């Protein structure tokens, strides 16, 4: 009788221990699953936070970036953005339509090599230093009459942070499919392309300091 009672008690104890171990294992499994879910949620939240930070930085940069485009006739009705001067000379007016200044602007007029030995022309001397937001600038290109049915104006510039930008303005004529001429003044801008971190001219950026001047830029410590 005593042995039967002891055996029964041992069996109950064994069942209790097995049940407790099962509960512990189940709890551990639930905790592991919950931890994995939290870790996955945290990782997604961190990734989304990084994406939002990048989008915020890109949006902020876009809001203050310079954008060089053809000048608007609305701003200066008496000064067309595309015209001729001194016979074959072409005058192109550009405008900084962005909210930040365009620094060290470089310009070249690209013409088909089959029409002109000098494929990339530079404008007359003008200030390359800066073009503030909303400002316009005349670019005079001489001796370019009859350079084909289309041409493109290349522009390189940078913002205050030193990031590079580029604009390409396509010029075409509806009056004469053979050459851009002065017939009925139907020359027009066909298309505009802009890029970041890209250069389109063959002209290099400014070198600082030039001509052995003192370097006044902040020095790293």
Helix (H, G, I), strand (E, B) or coil at 166: strand
Mean pLDDT score of the chain, rounded to an integer?
75
Return the percentage of the chain with pLDDT > 70, whole number.
64
CA dist 165 and 105 (Å) reads 10
Greater confidence (79 vs 164) lies with 164
> Which candidate, 91, 161, 158, 97, places its Cα nearest to that of 126?
91
Q: Are strands 187-196 and 89-96 parallel, antiparallel or unpaired?
A: unpaired
pTM (global) more than 0.85: no
pLDDT tens profile 95-142: 999 999 999 999 998 876 534 455 568 888 777 889 999 999 989 887
Q: CA 127, 131, 135 angle in degrees (round to 5)?
A: 115
- In contact, 132 and 164? CB cutoff 8 Å: no
Domain 68-196 belongs in CATH node 1.10.4030: no
In Å, how far are 70, 89, 99, 161, 163 from 158, measured between CA atoms? 18, 28, 13, 8, 5
């Amino acid at each position: 009788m005593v042995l039967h009672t002891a055996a029964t008690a041992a069996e109950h104890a064994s069942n209790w221990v097995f049940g407790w171990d099962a509960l512990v294992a189940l709890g551990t499994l639930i905790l592991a699953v919950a931890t994995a879910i939290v870790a996955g949620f945290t990782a997604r939240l961190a990734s989304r936070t990084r994406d939002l930070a990048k989008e915020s930085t890109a949006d902020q940069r876009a809001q203050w970036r310079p954008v060089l485009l053809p000048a608007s006739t609305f701003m200066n009705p008496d000064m067309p953005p595309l015209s001729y001067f001194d016979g074959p000379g072409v005058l192109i007016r550009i405008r900084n339509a962005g909210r930040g200044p365009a620094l060290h602007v470089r310009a070249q007029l690209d013409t088909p090599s089959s029409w002109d030995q000098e494929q990339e022309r530079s404008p007359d001397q003008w200030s390359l230093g800066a073009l503030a937001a909303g400002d316009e600038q005349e670019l005079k290109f001489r001796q370019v009459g009859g350079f084909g049915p289309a041409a493109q104006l290349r522009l390189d510039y940078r913002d205050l942070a030193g990031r590079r930008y580029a604009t390409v303005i396509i010029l075409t004529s509806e009056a004469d499919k053979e050459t851009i001429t002065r017939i009925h003044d139907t020359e027009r801008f066909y298309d505009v392309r802009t890029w970041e971190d890209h250069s389109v001219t063959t002209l290099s950026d400014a070198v600082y300091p030039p001509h052995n001047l003192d370097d006044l830029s902040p020095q790293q410590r």
